[in-house]
Amino acid sequence: MLDLRELYQEVILDHNKNPRNAYQMLDANCQAEGFNPLCGDQLTLYLQIKDNRIEKVSFTGSGCAISTASASLMTEYLAGKTLIEAEQLFNDFHNLVMLDSATKEEETLKKQLGKLSVLAGVREFPARVKCATLAWHTLKAALAHEQHPISTE
Amino acid sequence: MSLILPIRKDFPILNQTIAGKPLVYLDNAATTQKPQCVIDAMTHYYQFDNANVHRGIHTLSERATKAYEAARSKVQKFINAAHGHEIVFVRGTTEAINLVAQSYGRSQFKAGDEIILSQMEHHSNIVPWQMLCEQTGATLRIIPMNQQGELIFDEFTHLLNEKTRLVAITHISNALGTINPLEKFIETAHQHNVPVLIDGAQAVGHLPIDVQALNCDFYVFSGHKMYAPTGIGILYGKEQWLEKMPPYQGGGEMISKVSFEKTTYNVLPYKFEAGTPHIEGVIGLGAAIDYLQTLGLASIYAYEHELLNYATEKLSSIPGLRIIGQATHKSAIVSFVLDNIHAHDVGTILDHSGIAIRSGHHCAMPVMTYFNLPATARASFAFYNTKEEIDVLIQGIDEVKEVLGTC
Q: What is the DSSP string of A83-133?
A: HHHHHHHHHHHHHHHH-SS--HHHHHHHHHHGGGGGGGGGGG-GGGHHHHH
Q: pLDDT tens digit string along B278-293?
A: 999 999 999 999 999 9
Is a pLDDT exceeding 50 seen at residue B122? yes
What is the pLDDT confidence band of residue B109, given thresholds at 50, 70 and 90? very high
Cross-chain residue pair B361–A40, CB shorter than 8 Å? yes
Cross-chain residue pair B343–A38, CB shorter than 8 Å? no
Chain A hits for B405, CB-CB cut-off 8 Å, are 13, 17
Q: What is the dihedral angle through the alpha carbons of B174, B40, B298, B29, rounded to the nearest 10 degrees?
A: -10
Burial class (CB in 10 A: 0-12, 13-18, 19+), B134: exposed
Is a pLDDT exceeding 70 seen at residue B214? yes
Q: Give the chain B residue whose CA is nearest to the CA of A39.
A: B360
The predicted pLDDT at position A3 comes to: 80
* Residue count of chain A: 153
Cross-chain residue pair A66–B344, CB shorter than 8 Å? yes
Chain A hits for B403, CB-CB cut-off 8 Å, are 4-5, 8
Chain B hits for A40, CB-CB cut-off 8 Å, are 360-361, 365, 368, 374-375
Which of A64, A67, A133 would you mutate first to test chain B, the one with the most B CBs within 10 A? Answer: A64
pTM beyond 0.90, yes or no: yes
The predicted pLDDT at position A102 comes to: 62
Query: What residues in chain B have their Cβ under 8 A from chain A's Cβ atoms?
Result: 19-20, 340-345, 347-349, 352, 359-361, 365, 368, 374-375, 403-405
Domains of chain B: 5-26+297-403 (3.90.1150.10), 38-294 (3.40.640.10)
| Cis preceding-peptide flag for B269 (omega within 30 of 0) | yes
CB neighbour burial string for B314-351, b if at least 16 within 10 angstroms, e if fewer: bbeeeeebbbbbbbeebbbbbbbbbeebbbbbbbbbbb
Q: Give the chain B residue whose CA is nearest to the CA of A62.
A: B374
The predicted pLDDT at position A147 comes to: 43
What is the pLDDT confidence band of residue B2, given thresholds at 50, 70 and 90? very low
Is a pLDDT exceeding 60 seen at residue A152? no
B53 vs B42: CA distance, rounded Å: 15
Using an 8 Å Cβ cutoff, are B325 and B336 in contact? no
Query: What residues in chain A have their Cβ under 8 A from chain B's Cβ atoms?
Result: 1-2, 4-5, 7-8, 13, 16-17, 38-42, 62-66, 68, 125, 127-128, 131
B119 vs B350: CA distance, rounded Å: 30
Is a pLDDT exceeding 80 seen at residue A2? no
The predicted pLDDT at position B342 comes to: 94
B35 vs B39: CA distance, rounded Å: 7
Q: pLDDT tens digit string along A7-59?
A: 999 999 999 999 999 999 999 999 999 998 777 788 999 999 999 999 999 99
Q: pLDDT tens digit string along B47-62?
A: 999 999 988 789 999 9
The predicted pLDDT at position A145 comes to: 73
- Angstrom CA distances, A85 to A2, A56, A59, A82, B1, stand at 33, 15, 19, 5, 62
Q: pLDDT tens digit string along A118-127?
A: 998 898 888 8
Is a pLDDT exceeding 90 seen at residue B239? yes
The predicted pLDDT at position A146 comes to: 46
B167 vs B185: CA distance, rounded Å: 9
B138 vs B165: CA distance, rounded Å: 9
* Residue count of chain B: 407
DSSP state of B249: S
DSSP state of B353: T
B55 vs A60: CA distance, rounded Å: 61
Tell which wins on pLDDT, A139 or A152.
Answer: A139
Cα A116–chain centre separation: 9
A92 vs A110: CA distance, rounded Å: 9
DSSP characters over B103-135: IIIHHH--TT-EEEEETT--GGGTHHHHHHHHH
Chain A hits for B361, CB-CB cut-off 8 Å, are 39-40
Residue A49 three-state SS: strand
Nearest to A13 among B360, B365, B405 (CB): B405
Give the mean model confidence (pLDDT) for residues A69-96: 93
Chain A hits for B341, CB-CB cut-off 8 Å, are 65
Q: Give the chain B residue whose CA is nearest to the CA of A12.
A: B404
What is the pLDDT confidence band of residue B386, given thresholds at 50, 70 and 90? very high
Q: pLDDT tens digit string along B22-54?
A: 999 999 999 999 999 999 999 999 999 999 998
Q: pLDDT tens digit string along B328-338?
A: 999 999 999 99
Percent of chain A topping pLDDT 90: 61
B69 vs B63: CA distance, rounded Å: 10
The predicted pLDDT at position B21 comes to: 96
The predicted pLDDT at position A148 comes to: 47
Which of B27, B342, B371, B399 would you mutate first to test chain A, the one with the most A CBs within 10 A? Answer: B342
The predicted pLDDT at position A1 comes to: 43
DSSP state of B179: B
B401 vs A19: CA distance, rounded Å: 18
Is a pLDDT exceeding 50 seen at residue B112? yes
Is a pLDDT exceeding 80 seen at residue A101? no
Shortest distance, CA B320 to any CA of chain A (angstroms): 16
B99 vs B92: CA distance, rounded Å: 11
What is the pLDDT confidence band of residue A105, given thresholds at 50, 70 and 90? confident
Cβ-based neighbour number of residue B374 at 10 Å: 22
Q: Give the chain B residue whose CA is nearest to the CA of A38.
A: B360
Q: What is the dihedral angle through the alpha carbons of B276, B279, B281, B283, rounded to the nearest 10 degrees?
A: 160
What is the pLDDT confidence band of residue A64, given thresholds at 50, 70 and 90? very high
Give the mean model confidence (pLDDT) for residues B331-349: 96
Cβ-based neighbour number of residue B377 at 10 Å: 27
Question: Catalytic: which of B37, B133, B363, B407?
Answer: B363
Using an 8 Å Cβ cutoff, are B234 and B75 in contact? yes
Per the prediction, chain A carries an average pLDDT of: 87
The predicted pLDDT at position B407 comes to: 59
Q: What is the dihedral angle through the alpha carbons of A93, A94, A97, A100, rounded to the nearest 10 degrees?
A: -130
Shortest distance, CA B194 to any CA of chain A (angstroms): 35
Per the prediction, chain B carries an average pLDDT of: 96
Known catalytic residue: B133? no
Domains of chain A: 4-144 (3.90.1010.10)
- Angstrom CA distances, B46 to A145, B50, B285, stand at 55, 5, 15
The predicted pLDDT at position B366 comes to: 95
Mean pLDDT lowest among A96-100, B2-6, B180-184, B224-228: B2-6
Give the mean model confidence (pLDDT) for residues B172-180: 98
Pick the closest to residue B38 from B2, B13, B60, B17 (CA basis): B13
Helix (H) or strand (E) holding B158: helix B153-159
Cross-chain residue pair A8–B404, CB shorter than 8 Å? yes
